[in-house]
Amino acid sequence: MLMPIEIARMEEARQARAVVEVVPEFERIMGGAMTFLEPGSWANQACGIALSGPVTNDEIDRFVTFYESRGVEPRAEVAQFADPTLVAGLGKRGFGLRQFETVLARLIDPSEDVMASMPGDWPTDNKGSELVIERVDPSDEAMVLESLRVAMSGFMPEGYTPSAGEIEMHRKIVAHPHSDYLVAKFGGVVVGAGGAEYPRDAEIPVAVLFGVSVLNEFRRRGVQQALILHRVKRAQEKGAKVAVIHSLPGASTDRNAMRLGFAPCYTKVVLAKRGEGLVPSP
């Protein structure tokens, strides 16, 4: 049985490795990575840090300088198992709490029938069309952009226009060799989208299900649950021992995931430092 601290160390290492592969700027630090896309991006943050022991004042200062020199607030995702020297060092430098994040986990038995966990029938729309889940072809630019639009609908205000940098990062995510980026369709209309990254080797046998959104008018039909189970099954085929989902506490993702065998595994906090002229990240 994998313990929460073991899952956290694997997942935080996986996250740090994955983000540096899709952003234009990064540096390794404190056992993890700090990444930067552009002012106002969610990708401007450090992750996977301080899980292998104490950190130094010089490391924390380098982290702060990395972001302040780029005109954005220094921001870090900190897992509950991070070394206390990190939390103390950030506190002395004026970092404040921005939000909590729950990481849910589900162990995967290689012999289980994953799809049998689906509550009720497979989703259909008002016309009786069954939900179809497809992998986005990286060469299909129209579908790449549509998948981004639908995925961002649950995270950004209505009418939000992604920047050129966000579009380019999404292209890299869709084309990532160890991931699937998926769309869910009713009758050819994309109603949901999101991704998954699968294990590359036995060292980190974790799959992560990320970034799913379902358009408002198609919610409460089981679309998100279908996308979750589809990706868990793929993770099983790829040799994952555990699948994880990052979620804001109390979000619909929490509820849907827990209905399908996920349970809260560990907590993260987002800490950031305000400063005159520094752009915050969402």
CA 190/CA 151 separation, integer angstroms: 10
Length of the chain: 282
Quote the tokens at residue 201.
């080797």
N-terminal to C-terminal alpha carbon distance within the chain: 35
**What's the pLDDT score for residue 156?**
84
Spans of all domains in the chain: 4-102+268-272, 109-240
**What's the pLDDT score for residue 262?**
97
**What's the pLDDT score for residue 159?**
80
b/e sequence 225-244, b meaning 16+ C-beta within 10 Å: bbbbbbbbbbbbebebbbbb
**What's the pLDDT score for residue 108?**
97
What is the domain class of 109-240 according to CATH?
Answer: alpha beta
Q: What is the mean pLDDT of each run of 10 residues along the chain (282 residues)?
A: 95 98 98 98 97 98 98 98 98 97 97 94 94 98 97 86 96 97 97 98 95 94 97 98 96 93 98 97 86
The pTM for the full model equals 0.94
CA 134/CA 282 separation, integer angstroms: 29
**What's the pLDDT score for residue 75?**
98
